[in-house]
């Protein structure tokens, strides 16, 4: 089983010099925008029954943005570690307590997959209108693709375009 800890608890553990493995299960673009120092990024979608390069005896703290995804990750790996903690409130709680985060200035931080998805959806809609005006009115149906994808994302949390873009080499 895992135990929930607060950002203050984690800060005390870090200040006491405890040997911790901090695992951030957010997406790489979220991680790049701000993460706890020394945290290792292992996105939730890649988490199996254990974390790579983390031993059973290690003290493991799992972090996400608000605590939900990290609790899910803890559930997946709970049988693999003797000492497993979920940061309740996540990175958002950490920041609201005034604790520092490390920000990366990589291109990934500037172009998250969500932004790429919005760009491609907008491009398809503009193309549909332009083609329907200049080529054939039937091209207007092209606009239904991004509309359907965005509606599916809003209702189920599954966005086909985002899933495709995550597979692109620049998002690896």
Q: Looking at residue 167, what is its pLDDT?
A: 84
Would you list the domain boundaries of the chain?
Answer: 3-103, 111-171
CB atoms within 10 A of CB 31: 26
Closest Cα to residue 2, out of 52, 48, 45, 61? 61
Q: Looking at residue 172, what is its pLDDT?
A: 62
Cα-based distances in Å from 2 to 42, 128, 167: 18, 50, 32
All residue ranges of the chain with pLDDT < 70 are 105-111, 172
Q: Looking at residue 51, what is its pLDDT?
A: 94
Q: Looking at residue 109, what is its pLDDT?
A: 44
Q: Which CATH class is domain 3-103?
A: alpha beta
Q: Looking at residue 141, what is its pLDDT?
A: 95
Q: Looking at residue 110, what is its pLDDT?
A: 44
Q: Looking at residue 142, what is its pLDDT?
A: 95
């Amino acid at each position: 089983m895992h135990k929930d800890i607060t950002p203050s608890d984690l800060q005390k553990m870090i200040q006491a010099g405890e040997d911790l493995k901090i695992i951030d299960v957010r997406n790489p673009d979220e991680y790049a925008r701000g993460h706890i120092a020394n945290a290792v990024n292992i996105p939730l979608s890649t988490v199996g029954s254990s974390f790579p390069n983390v031993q059973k005896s290690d003290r493991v703290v799992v972090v996400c943005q608000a605590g939900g995804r990290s609790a899910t990750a803890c559930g997946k790996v709970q049988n693999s570690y003797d000492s497993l903690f979920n940061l309740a409130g996540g990175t958002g709680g950490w920041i609201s307590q005034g604790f520092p985060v490390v920000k990366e200035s990589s291109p990934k931080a500037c172009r998250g997959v969500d932004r790429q998805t919005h760009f491609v959806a907008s491009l398809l809609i503009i193309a549909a209108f332009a083609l329907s005006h200049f080529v054939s009115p039937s091209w207007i149906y092209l606009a239904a693709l991004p509309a359907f994808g965005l509606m599916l994302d809003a209702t189920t949390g599954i966005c086909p375009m985002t899933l495709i873009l995550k597979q692109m080499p620049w998002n690896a």
